[in-house]
Every structure is written in C-alpha cells, then in structure tokens.
Amino acid sequence: MLARNALGAAKNRGYFAGRKLLALNLVSSPGSGKTTLLERTIRDLGSRRPFAVIQGDQATDRDAERVRRAGARAVQLNTGTVCHLDAAMVERALAELDPPLGAVLAIENVGNLVCPALFDLGEQERVVVASYAEGDDKPLKYPYMFRSASLVILNKSDLAPHVEFDASQFREHVRTVNPAAPVLELSALRGQGLSSWYEWLDGARA
C-alpha cells in the first residue's frame, strides 16, 4: 500500500512542479485551527497570489465552504472511516480543482497525528499545526509526525494566559525529535505573529 502511494506521490510531485505550485500538507490533531489559519492567510495574501485548497475530512463540506467564502478554490474530500488522505485521493481532487499556475496549494489533511505521518502526498512542505489548547508534550507523544515536519506552527497564542501550556517546553520537545524544524508561534484568530508565517511562505515559494 505504501509503495503504491509512493508512486502516486511522485506523480503528484511532477504535476506540482509542472504547474509551479507550492504544495503544503497541513496536518494536526482536530481543532488546532488549520482552517482558521487558511481563511486568514487567503484573505490577507489572496490579492498577491492565487490559493487553492484540498480539504480532507471524514464527513461534511463545512471547511471547504469556509475556504471558498475566504476567496479560494476548494475541493472537499470525505474519507469516511479512513483517517488520512493519500496520494491517489489528492490526484483525483486535482483534476476537479484545476489550481491556477503558480498557486499556493494547501492540502488540509484529516485531523489526526498518527496516520497522515506515513503517507506522502507529493507535497514540497509538511506543516504541523499544534495549539495552546493541547498538551505541550505532543511532539514526544507523536514523534513520527513532528519528525516529518518542515515547519511547526504553535497556534492559539491568545489562549496563553488562560491555559497551562509551557511554550518553551514545547519548543524543546520539537527540537528533541526534529532539530531542523522552525517553530512559529501565532494566533490565526487574532492575527498575532502571522507576519512570520507569511515570511516563511515567501521563502518556501522562492
């Protein structure tokens, strides 16, 4: 199964390169704020560059509708009992989505820190989104996901005064499993720290 997925991922990679897409695989546990981050990013940057989104959930198209209202093309993939997206699902979604040349393609994976870690979708960058609403030991409990990250985002920083979460400990745990991945702290809802995320996107695209 993984070998077949790897072939599909290689095919997707060729598609992304041919259309000059920056393909991001956004992964997290449920409720970390991936969709809110995408909405805010599209609204802030959409006039400068095109965005397209593949939305993965077990059911409903609520998140795809949110992304469309923010101003980007979106295709919803419902996986039913499957807890991750795979390369073949992404390939089928691309045919419907038809992302513009040079777009940022965000693939919002199913909320899960286990299964998606194993499946390459062909993306250039894997972005792990965690939040202050979770435990600061997540990188140690889910090392395979954090080890595969190009970037770690610590979202919902506006909750810092209200929860018991040690951000410095979280960063140390990330460094333990993935010394190369930068950690950006922000609040997608309030807008705090988003400039660092936008700078990272510019660098990744370059």
Alpha-carbon distance of 185 to 129, in angstroms, equals 10
pLDDT of residue 205: 80
Backbone angles phi and psi of 122, in degrees to 5: 95, 0
Residue-wise pLDDT for 7-36, tens only, equals 999 999 999 999 999 999 999 999 999 999
Domain ranges of the chain: 2-205
- List, for the chain, all residue ranges whose pLDDT scores fall below the cut of 70: 206
Residue-wise pLDDT for 77-91, tens only, equals 999 999 999 999 999
Q: Is 1 helix (H, G, I), strand (E, B) or coil?
A: coil
Residue-wise pLDDT for 66-75, tens only, equals 999 999 999 9
Alpha-carbon distance of 126 to 31, in angstroms, equals 18
Give the distance, in angstroms, between the CA of residue 34 and the centroid of all CA atoms in the same chain.
7
pLDDT of residue 206: 67
Q: Which residues contact 185 (CB under 8 A, 6 or more apart)?
A: 153, 154, 157, 167, 193
pLDDT of residue 98: 97
CATH fold of the domain at 2-205: Rossmann fold (3.40.50)
